[in-house]
Amino acid sequence: MAIRTGANGIMILHGTYTVAYTAAALTYMLRGAPAPIILTGSVLPIEEDAATARMVLSASIMALRKLTKYPGLYFAFTRATGTSREYFADANGRASSKSQDNEAVALIKGTRVRKTHSWRRDCFHSIHEPEIGTIISSRVTLFKDRLRAASWTPTDQFCPAVKLDERVALLKAYPGMSAETIGHIANGNYAGLVIEGYADGTLPTGRDYSLLGSIQEVVKAEIPVFVTSGPIGRATLSAYVGGSKLRRIGATPLGDMTTEAAVVKLMWVLGDSTSVQETKRRMLLNLAGEISGSLTET
């Protein structure tokens, strides 16, 4: 592994569709590594948009040189400084683009990455937290207070924790959602469930479309159930009556953790957890800046 051979920094190139999951997963797996790691990429391949690809690559290298005192997992991607560039599919399904003047690259904490647009050049954003740095015209600006919260403390004998239990289901709540959609999780080969709810993590709990019974079945099957908020905001299950009901039957809200970070964190925690209670306890800990503070189970 490059880190063990004394590398001062590592850059990983990654596609944009699933990089938010990878960034969060590597943040958990590689905590304690003695060098900074940057994931980066481009909406279009280098042969189709060489200028943007080169800019992101060079910006990432410059950032790595400045981050040697702040080992952690970061994501670097273009962001708007003025006019925005938008990519779109033409009649033949090929990507095309409109011109723009972006010359900036943003640094985002690995557990706060989200892709918010399919084709825009600035299609990634930092969720719930501001960017931790920018690279503009070869100038790297790092926000030290944010970096301290995003970086980790290197361990003397670093050993990656890479074991995952992929038996995790992710469901998104929607009006008219059938209880059977959740109920089959209890009878399937699953070890954990993440539900992306409405604001505050609220789910349908009314008389006609209640999910309470099916969620309770999953909990009784000793499958931990966690809830995130679909809209940007915190999932507390405390703003509405339905949320209180969900808490009482065993659903656990995950605060301002993104759904992407929650899914891979649950896989990672389940990789070596020995009980449902231990899984819940570790999911509520702020291990890598994925939540604001630590949460407590009520």
**51 and 146 inside one domain:** yes
pLDDT in tens, 54-112: 899 999 999 999 999 999 999 999 987 655 555 555 556 655 555 455 569 999 999 99
Kindly state whether residue 297 falls inside one of the protein's structural domains: no
The H-or-E segment that residue 212 falls in is helix 212-220
**At which of 119, 150, 181 does a domain end?**
150
Kindly state whether residue 292 falls inside one of the protein's structural domains: no
Tell me the one-letter amino acid at 40. Answer: T
Please list the pLDDT of the chain residue by residue as tens digits (298 residues): 677 777 899 999 999 999 999 999 999 999 999 999 999 998 887 777 778 888 999 999 999 999 999 999 999 999 876 555 555 555 566 555 554 555 699 999 999 999 999 888 889 999 999 999 999 988 999 999 898 888 888 887 888 999 999 999 999 999 989 999 898 999 889 999 999 999 999 999 887 789 999 999 999 999 999 999 999 999 999 999 989 999 999 999 999 999 999 999 999 999 999 999 999 999 999 999 999 877 876 5
| Domain membership of residue 115 as a residue range | 2-150
**191 and 105 inside one domain:** no
Find, among 139, 115, 138, 111, the residue nearest to 125 by Cα.
Answer: 115
Tell me the whole-structure pTM to 2 decimals: 0.90
**140 and 174 inside one domain:** no
**78 and 179 inside one domain:** no
**144 and 47 inside one domain:** yes
Q: What are phi and psi of 158, to 5 degrees?
A: -65, 130
Cβ atoms < 10 Å from Cβ of 70 = 17
Q: Alpha helix locations (H) across 14-123?
A: 19-29, 50-66
**135 and 24 inside one domain:** yes
Give the count of domains, the chain: 2
Find, among 63, 73, 121, 79, the residue nearest to 261 by Cα.
Answer: 73
86: helix, strand or coil: strand
**At which of 118, 150, 182 does a domain end?**
150
CATH number, domain with residue 257: 3.40.50.40
